[in-house]
Amino acid sequence: MSIPAPPEKMMFQLSLRRRGISDQAVLHAMEAVPRDRFVDPIHRDGAWRDTALPIACGQTISQPFVAAYMTEQLGLRADHRALEIGTGSGYQAAILSRLAKWVLSVERFKTLADSARQRLEDMRYDNVEVMVGDGLALPEAVGEFDRIIVTASVAEVPQSLLDRLAVGGVMIVPVGPPAGRQTLLRLVRGQDGLVRKPLVDVRFVPAIPGTAREL
């Protein structure tokens, strides 16, 4: 006999559908990834609520709807290489891992990268690699990616990331001032250049160049 999902998890899934998330693969991924494993113990009672929550190093774990919406806009396939800028707790990387062939997640804070890497390994998300580095200045050696998701805001889309986006690739990135209105952009690289489409207003912590010295 199967064990029914707890009420808060059922409401979590219902909320995503009510707010317009319709891609079944994304919904299944959101259902399969246990968000309560990616938040600090003090916040676990609210892990299934549709709200962002604080994590270490002054960062946040994204609101579930935003995570689902950004993922849906990527249009991931099982043969895709995906790049995430801003690992945080590893929650978004775990979602991506269920939809893509391989995920590289880059985090500037070593503390966050190490804990996320261990968490993902313990939960057997084996197709995710977490790297400590400057996500705004990646070396050419990392190659090109079919999909790129940036989970911190930038004033303008970094050329360094555009250089990593393959032809036919899609990037989702919040663009705008740190203390003002940010817009989620969807960029598609075609043979003749980029097509940019504004999606929704969002609020993310700002992306900071370089790697953190101590954390």
User: Among residues 2, 62, 105, 160, which one is catalytic?
Assistant: 62
CA 208 to chain centre: 16
The pTM is what? 0.92
Name 193's bridge partners.
190
Low-confidence ranges of the chain (pLDDT < 70): 1-6, 213-215
Report pLDDT for 4. Answer: 44
CATH numbers and ranges of domains, the chain: 7-202 (3.40.50.150)
62 as an active site residue: the answer is yes
pLDDT of residue 9: 76
